[in-house]
Structure 1
Amino acid sequence: MSTAVSDNDTSSGPQQAGPKPPPVPEGSRTVTLKIQRFNPEFDEEPRWESYDVPALSTDRLLNLLHYVKWYLDGTLAFRRSCAHGVCGSDAMQINGVNRLACKVLMKDMLAPQGKPTVITIAPIKGLPVQKDLYVDMEPFFEAFKAIKPYLITYGNEPSKERIQSPADRERFDDTTKCILCACCTTSCPVYWADGSYFGPAAIVNAHRFIFDSRDQGAEERLDILNDAEGVWRCRTTFNCTDACPRGIQVTKAIQEVKRALLFKRV
């Protein structure tokens, strides 16, 4: 859930080049990054800027964004932290698809030899753009917090661990993988049209506790998700499942929450 930012400079105007770039690696190819830029202090509308960057097939797209930031234009703003697909900070639209920049390998993006490679990069949709690829995540986290994403129990605390069988743990294993990157939520057409919809990520995190045998707050969460902006807004387009960088079966989890509502329990 880290949101380390690779930009502390809010200026616009001329590009701010950094130090001299290192020598171009042997065997690299030139890739054009077409990046959507927007600074609300200076721009009325988003604009596109292109950067030619050397790339090896072993590079990740995040490496190329760093090259732009460090050597070509220091005003570029984007989030990143762990760079290993765990923190979820660097979610963005890459060639129109929500992905994590640190998990996109250039070997999968390069055009055939002799043809140009152009990669378009834009911020994830449905959240306010603060600058370039950097969006305001607060609406997303408000929805996440609203479904009470923590273990709820009543009565006296037990004197020993709450025992759970492997089968009980397996029941919600898939939805424990969420890293709150917002790729699924911001790929949802319903969320684009109405940001008050809880969105797939919030429902996934509710699922994780609704089906936890140790939890006693399932009814509370189901009541929350039975709201007009809750689980029934889902139109089963599978965009969320396709977008998830962790391979979570998001649409399946949403359907299981719907079923739990219909039958009043797991």
Structure 2
Amino acid sequence: MITEWSAGGYDHRMRRRRRPAVIVLLGIDGAGKSTQARRLARTLSAAGRPASSFNNGGGRPLLDALARRLGRRDGPDLLGRRVHVAVEATYRGLAITRALALSRLTGRIAVMDRYVYCQYAVMRLRGDGEARGVRVAYRRFPAPDLVVLFTVPATLAQQRVELRGRDHEDLDRLVAFAEAYRNLPEAPMFRELPASGTPDEVHAALYPLVTDALGRRLDRPAVRPRATHLLRERATRRPTSSRRNVGWLRRRTEARQLHGSSNHPPPRSTR
């Protein structure tokens, strides 16, 4: 059962933060990410927590379709491995940047259908190296409040992709892609969620994970302890600095009065 949330309390507490929450859904093609992202955004909004879903793909369908039209096998075959990685990572990075900007401007929770981890996983799948350059470029993106990895048998995922009728996925590739996700350095922070059931069943299991993550986020302080300490330290320094300035001006004025004029400095010693 989905619990209604107080919109007023949510708005009041969320205003203290610079950015709305970021919820990330991951998984191989056919795992149901896009369906659940859209549904989750609708459910959160209906419960008083405004949310929007964003698709952060790397442009693979477009690049592969273009490659086939030009007589090549796929995007990497058309552009070469290094150029393809640069184009793909840039395409995904721009999508994530747009999603985060819209989320911050509207104040709505960002439900991300794919995120930076998808780029790392697909590069690991293709053997593109350690992705150091891509990780450096992506490090400006915030860490999500929750990352959910949908797990589903590769055979079922392949069937779902075929039913869509837009593209085809090789079974071995899906198996290797799932393994690439599990082998990422960030994998321990992922919450794995079995996604073999119906959309209703998956959503019923997903929603409590999301509300729990959002609740923990609101319980954390709006300002980091280090920043609070610095603000307190600066606040205590200002009066001391002001008293020093006042004392220095008073002593200077008294010294000038002793020499009979406030318009001329005291005579220098001739010794």
With normalisation by structure 2, the TM-score equals 0.24
Q: Which has the higher helix share?
A: 2
More strand, by proportion: 1
